[in-house]
Structure 1
Amino acid sequence: MKRLIILTGIAAGAALPAHAQRVQVTPYVEASQVVAADLNGGDVLTYSTLGAGIDASVQSRRVEVQVSYRYEHRFDYQNKLNNDHTHSGLATVKATVAPGLTLEAGGIATRTRSDIRGNVQNSQVGNFSNSAQVFSGYVGPSLATHLGPMFVNGAYRFGYTKVEAPGQTGVAPGQPRLDYYDDSKVHVATASVGVKSGTVLPVGITASGSYTREDAGQLDQRFEGKWGRGDVVLPVLRGLALAGGIGYEQIKITQRDALLNGAGQPVVDRNGRFQTDPNSPRRIAYDLDGVFWDAGVIWKPSRRTFLEARVGRRYGSMSYTGSLSYQAGPGSGIQVGVYDTVQTFGQQLNGQLSTLPTALASTTDPFGNQFSGCIYGTTGAAAGGCMNGVFASAATSAYRARGVTAVAVAGRGGTRFGIGGGWARRDFIAPSNGTAFTTNGTSDTSIYAQAFASTDVGANGSLQGSILGSYYNSDLPGNDGIYGWGANAAYTHRFGRLGATLSGGVFGFERDGDSSASAQALLGLRYGF
């Protein structure tokens, strides 16, 4: 496949300078034939697809960009397809506009589960259920500079998230109906100032603050949070320091009631979303006002290793947070995060997008799972991250999110490996005095793991495969706990600008009294310009 590659230097014929620019742009069109067979004795579904997309990257001293986007339209024959088109893509942008001032942006288009109790659809082939198209993006500047011995940091981010209405979810009839997520706009501003240890004082001191405002489309939901804190870092040994902080925060979450019909059931619009009662007072879902604290250790024995672990009290109970990063080599590394925060689906998705690296491993995943799970980086210094906990379901209520996520990557030559997994728990926050079923006080749990490998086969071929597994559980009525699993492999051969891919996979889910499994195959041709 042909790619447009531009190397820009100071003068033609000179050695490549440090500020050279590398640009790769690959627009393409593709056509595929797909077969999906229900292994539980169901039908065999056959259809064709036409798609178009672009893979692009820019790497220079001032600009880092990576974009991968694909649109697919599906053409059925005899059996009607529930979804006739999909969008799939991820973009990350980081540009230095002035010394210390950068502009960052990112976006994602993929699919999310709709109801935590519903079916698990690990593949985007065939008539998938409990799945909705999601779009999310963010943009904003960040500043990192110094005033004498003090460092000064600041950032602002605007984010937008939109989720389309799902079809069938697989939840048994008669269970409480959950609302469908619509959209949200979120503003986040942060600032910090301080001095490092050994510059002015033996200890490092930092003062920081943050403000968050989100307005969601469903039931006129509003989230407003602000906090300020002070931190002290005390070095005790080479590469080891004790850290502690104390702060004060306010969080208030409100929304209105759903409009009810004469039978006391929520009135829904043509997309199945609850309609807002215009006469409802603004109900308080969460109103926090108080002091929080944490303490722990920071360990940095080398430039390649960093560990921070803290324990404290926040949101009315004990809180545990931390992070670990280890760069084993230029293309190999590990990244682990432990988090505890009060937020929403839109905030969490935007926040995780902003932490993804700008150099991402591209995969040939014809079944469409590339951006809904673990996303792998190409350098050991930025291993990537997992989106599984966010996409467990597009919940409309706010929640306290706690969990652990880990990613490891390794690469050498034309061979790359990646593994990721984690645990996530959401404790939901909603008004308890409304006029419809409330998720307040309920919780759900997600456990997930997946692995990916790819290698070059000769000069023009590549082979890749992946496996994944997940478990979702909730104390919502109608939940039995559900396991999801899948595996696929694909071989791609390039004939100049034309590439051919042959892929096969098996996917399914299981829960008490219900199971599903399907075998899927795809033959596709891609032409790159």
Structure 2
Amino acid sequence: MKRSSHARRRIAAFAVLSATAMPAAATAQSIGYEGVGGGTQAEAAPEGGGVQSGRASRGRGRGLSGRRVEIQPYIELDQIVTAELSPGDDVLTYTQAAIGADASVQGRNTGASASVRYQRQFGWGKRAGDGDAISGLVSGYATVVPGVTIEAGGLASQVDVENGGTALAVGTLAGNGKSTVYSAYVGPSVATRAGDLNLSGNYRLGYTKVDQSNGARNAQTGAAADVFDDSTTHMADVQAGFAPGTVLPVGVGVGGSFYQEDVSNLDQRARDMQARAMVTVPVSRTVQAVGAIGYEDVEVSSRDALRGADGLPVIGSDGRYVTDKSSPRELAYDVSGLIWDVAVMWRPSRRTSLSAHFGRRYGSTSFGGTLAYAPNDRSQFSVAVYDNVSGFGGQLNRTLDQLPDDFEVVRDPVTGELRGCVSSLESGNCISSALGSVRSSMFRARGIAANYSMQIGRLNAGVGGGYDRRKYIAARNTVLASADGVIDENWWLSAYVSGDMGRDAGWSANIYANWVDSSDPLTQAVAGYGASASYYRVLAARLRGTIAVALNGQSYDAPAIDDLWTASALAGLRYSF
């Protein structure tokens, strides 16, 4: 009864999240250019924390004269067999019951997509334990008045947390000793004009929580004390500027941004404030150069853990360090001074845009950029290079903020879990770059993410991949001192393909892979792999049958740890309302 009550509370919480998350694009902490670039807000392609109202760019060009609303709730009953291939040979059987809903709302002034699912597994036999899981993804916006939108998004997903805070995609059945990541954000975006002056701003309030089950905590060593708990983030960006040819031959503008993330683990805090002035020089009809100079102040601080009589840090019932609220706040990172940046923006057509910048941030060289290319209405390719300072929650909020508002979730047909990327013909389709590690410490993240998706007749396909490097920042006078300077690297890949076989049948397949390595001597390099395929057929009105198979594995760069491989098969029925 206790577990069921807990499950109901989680369902209710995510239902509220889904209801509020109907509206994403403020990634403050980056120097923005587009507001002074000379194009309209709808024409500009945002890079980092650009000035445009986020959905102004994502929703453009759809030609939606009406409104499309699709909501499909369902119930599902499955029978699952899982065989351990290595290191043992157990064969476990489960019955799985699930309820969920997939929804899409697309109109002239609104856009949102959502997929929410709760499932419960009942194990057959002593070794096949019971478990439940909730997963979902929501992203969207709503226009309040012209130029003002409310945007929001949310995520619930399960991960395997390995020793040292490494997070891998769930391979075997969800709900048994797994950790669940919850994240959501909401906030307004504004873009308007006062004569020739372009004005814009946005704000995001975000929250992220890693909920570890008893089984997940029992599988950890002492390193689990550094696993992220929860955080609240504030991101804001404002900008004002004149386009070239209005008051001057060149564009001029000013802007500022604010970022703060408060992590519950040891009261960690990252705060980043900056102000800048910008000049835009038109080079040609399709190319503009932008120079920016300004001032920034970046700080990361925390408190120490409570110490016991033996001088050792106290670990609470949740497996994490207990914060000593009376201890002074210790600075781990303090950088302030002049920042500068030069950028080139190229937009030869409405289907192609490129923005690349190079400069000085965080006391060292910084670079980044975005590329978006849609050769036709049935394919798109995008790349993003990023550099920022934040914690796990802030990084995940940023990634959710870049998701499109028109997508279909790609799920594992056996576990029901989310798989890396969503199916969409818009850019920013993957969330894998934000996972890989759930250490509580703040970090500087640098990386690249790319994705390509297409539709060919009845075939939908997509692939995403990237690299994420996090250098952790921790105060040397605290229990987290050993994390300072640690580097975690995450290479990831996710791909999917699906198609119809007539009006009453269809198929899908997906693969994923994560390779996570760390300079921490207590953390072993680990890789997670998976592949699955499914086939469905409509058996009667609103009723369809599904069969699916999956292969999942985890390999370790340590001879003392055996690789884990499992194979699963599913047969089930789904009734849609």
Q: TM-score, normalised by structure 2?
A: 0.84
Displacement of 1:399 after TM fit? 0.3
Counterpart pick for 1:205 among 243, 252, 256: 252
In structure 2, stretches of 5+ residues that fail to align are 1-62
The 1-side partners of 2:159 and 2:339 are apart by 33
- Tell me the percent identity: 38
Q: 1:444 aligns with which of 471, 488, 493?
A: 488
Equivalent-residue separation in structure 2 for 1:526 and 1:219 (angstroms)? 46
Tell me if structure 1 keeps the 8 A contact 2:533–2:548: yes
1:70 matched to 2:93: no
Task: Report if aligned partners of 2:261, 2:390 keep a CA contact under 8 Å in 1.
Answer: no
Higher strand share: 1
For residues 235-277 of structure 1, the C-alpha deviation after alignment (integer angstroms, 9 at most, x for no partner) is: 2123122222112111222211112334443322222121112
2:555 maps to 1:507:
no
CA-to-aligned-CA distance 1:299-349 (integer Å, 9 cap, x gap): 111111011111112112211101000012112101100000111111111
SS at match of 2:386: strand
Post-superposition offset of 1:372:
5.1
Aligned to 2:447: 403
Query: Does 1:239 pair with 2:283?
Result: no
Q: Post-superposition shift, 1:499?
A: 1.6
Give the equivalent residue in structure 1 for 2:56: none
Q: For 2:511, which of 462, 467, 476 is the aligned residue?
A: 467
Counterpart code for 1:517: W
Aligned partners of 1:121 and 1:129 also within 8 Å: no
Report the equivalent of 1:517: 565
- Partner Cα distance (2:231, 2:520) in 1: 24
Contact 2:413/2:533 (8 A) holds in 1: no
Query: Which residue is 1:106 aligned to?
Result: 153
> 1:370 and 1:300, CA in 2 relative to 1: closer, same or farther beyond 3 A?
farther
Q: CA RMSD in A?
A: 2.3
Q: Against the structure 1 CA distance between its residues 328 and 35, is the aligned structure 2 distance closer, same or farther, given a 3 Å change threshold?
A: same
Cα deviation digits, residues 413-454 of structure 1 (max 9, x gap): 321110000000000011111246531111110111121100
Alpha-carbon distance between aligned partners in 2 of 1:498 and 1:474, rounded to the nearest angstrom: 47
2:461 matches 1:430? no
SS state of the match for residue 350, structure 1?
A: helix
Q: Name the structure 2 match of 1:387.
A: 431
SS at match of 1:385: coil
CA 1:387–1:169: 2 relative to 1, 3 Å: farther
Match of 1:330 in 2: 377
Paired residue for 2:302?
A: 255
Q: Which amino acid aligns with 1:500?
A: G
* 1:482-501 matches, cutoff 5 A: 482-495=526-539, 496-501=541-546
**1:229 corresponding residue in structure 2:** 276
Compute the displacement of 1:293 (Å).
1.4
Q: Secondary structure at the match of 1:349?
A: helix
- Count of residues paired in the alignment: 509
1:373 corresponds, among 420, 427, 431, to 420
Partners of 1:70 and 1:311 lie apart in 2 by 42
The offset of 1:91, in angstroms, is 0.9
Q: What stretches of structure 1 of length at least 5 have no aligned partner?
A: 1-16
The letter of the residue matching 1:58 is: V
Instruction: Please report how far the alpha carbon of residue 467 of structure 1 lies from its aligned counterpart in structure 2 after TM superposition.
Output: 1.6
* Corresponding residue of 2:134: 87
Query: For 1:386, what is the secondary structure of its paired residue?
Result: coil
Match for 1:89: what amino acid?
Answer: G
Distance 1:130 1:308, change over 3 A: farther
| Aligned residues of 1:57 and 1:66 also touching (Cα < 8 A) | yes
Tell me what 1:318 maps to.
365
* Equivalent residues of 2:208, 2:230 under 8 A apart: yes
Aligned to 1:268: 315
Asked if the contact 2:291–2:341 (Cα under 8 Å) also holds between the matched residues in 1, the reply is yes
Moved more, 102-111 or 312-321: 312-321
Q: One-letter code of the match for 1:274?
A: Y
Distance 2:440 2:411 in 1: 32
Higher helix share: 2
Partner of 1:528: 576
The separation in 2 between residues aligned to 1:460 and 1:305, in whole angstroms, is: 37
- d(CA) in 1 for partners of 2:391 and 2:165? 20
Shift of 1:168: 4.2
Out of 449, 457, 460, the residue aligned to residue 413 of structure 1 is 457
Q: In the superposition, relative to structure 1, how do residues 186 and 372 fare at CA in structure 2: closer, same or farther (>3 Å)?
A: farther
- Within 2, Cα distance between the matches of 1:193 and 1:219? 38
Alpha-carbon deviation of 1:494?
1.9
Asked if 1:47 corresponds to 2:94, the answer is: yes
The SS at the match of 2:400 is helix
Q: Does 1:215 align with 2:262?
A: yes
